Amino acid sequence: MILIADGGSTKADWIALDNNKNEIFRVRTLGLNPAVIPQEELTNRIVNMFQLINVKDEVTEVHFYGAGCGTPKPVEILHEVMQEIFSNAEINIAEDMLAAVYAATGKNPAIVCILGTGSNSCYFNGNEIEMLVPSLGYTVMDEASGNYFGKQLLRDYFYKKMPKKISKSFEEQYNLDADFIKMNLYRQPNPNMYLASFAKFMFDFKDEKYIKKVIKKGFQEFFSCRILPYNKTAETPIYFIGSIAYYFKDILEKVANKHNLEVTGIIQRPIDNLLDYHKENIN
């Protein structure tokens, strides 16, 4: 049995295949970002999904693509966790950027971007991924990501820059007690996921002028930091992965057009495209 997984900080999608690459089942676990989630919690999030544990001894291959898997130490941690659970399997772990490339463009050159809980981009030359800089995560980078927008909403609320009607709805949906917020940001695990939880608020108010302005500013920053420095021609395909890009497609395309660029495609959930790529290209 083969397991293919696309894992972000918030959630991870898994598909199980038999040895003929026919789908057996698919499940979703909580996110498995080894850069921010403790090792014990990574284990718990897998073993608590009974569909995975029921077949753990039958699994011969695991192909996991995940957020936080771009540097050696987190990969080592997650590899140890998975090898202990799927003891009969060959464990392959790669960063989520590679999954985004496989899902979006396959083997063709393109700029590929992720706008999820975190954000990132790369240029795929047809053979290898080229990245401008390593991702330093939610405290320093992650422009236009869920945690970026969550942080902006909180700042605007407390600085009283949020329109009153929207501010009132924000208060009704979230616990905005300052001590509660600081506890989640500085004393609880996964503050990036906590910040990203506020970004969901934007989906309900996406037609409001204020929300459009916040989104546009974030997208402009992402293009400035994560796309324009590649210095590619207007003909270079640009793909986006993630719900932020999917739900705010119109604004994203307008920002791209201002730079004489076009968005080639947007994929909300890459797991199906990733599955197709594996069926065709990975033995």
pLDDT above 80 for 269: yes
Indicate whether 148 belongs to any domain.
Answer: no
Indicate whether 106 belongs to any domain.
Answer: no
Indicate whether 28 belongs to any domain.
Answer: yes
The pLDDT assigned to 160 comes to 96
Backbone angles phi, psi at 68, to 5 degrees: 80, 5
Indicate whether 194 belongs to any domain.
Answer: no
Burial of 148 (0-12, 13-18, 19+ CB in 10 A): buried
Indicate whether 126 belongs to any domain.
Answer: no
Picking from 186, 182, 189, 188, the residue whose alpha carbon sits closest to that of residue 38 is 189
Q: What is the pLDDT of residues 190-237, one digit of tens each?
A: 898 899 999 999 998 999 999 999 999 999 999 999 999 999 988 999
Looking at every residue in the chain, the average pLDDT score rounds to 92
| pLDDT (mean) for 262-267 | 94
Long-range contacts, 204-208 (Cβ 8 Å, 24+): 204/169, 205/166, 205/169, 206/247, 206/248, 208/163, 208/166
Strands 11-17 and 2-7: antiparallel
Q: What is the pLDDT of residues 104-144, one digit of tens each?
A: 988 889 999 999 888 999 999 988 899 888 777 788 889 99
Indicate whether 93 belongs to any domain.
Answer: yes
d(CA 234, CA 259): 9
The pLDDT assigned to 136 comes to 79
The pLDDT assigned to 44 comes to 94
pLDDT above 90 for 8: no
One-character DSSP codes across 50-111 = HHHHHTTTT--EEEEEETT-SSHHHHHHHHHHHHHHSTTSEEEEEEHHHHHHHHHTTTS-EE
Indicate whether 114 belongs to any domain.
Answer: no
Q: What is the pLDDT of residues 61-100, one digit of tens each?
A: 999 999 888 889 999 999 999 999 999 999 999 988 888 9
| % pLDDT > 90, the chain | 71
The pLDDT assigned to 14 comes to 95
Q: Are 125 and 230 in contact (CB under 8 A)?
A: no
pLDDT-based confidence at 36, cuts 50/70/90?
confident
Count of structural domains within the chain: 1
| pLDDT (mean) for 47-72 | 92
Domain extent, residue 69, equals 2-99+271-281
CATH code, domain with 91: 3.30.420.40
Indicate whether 212 belongs to any domain.
Answer: no
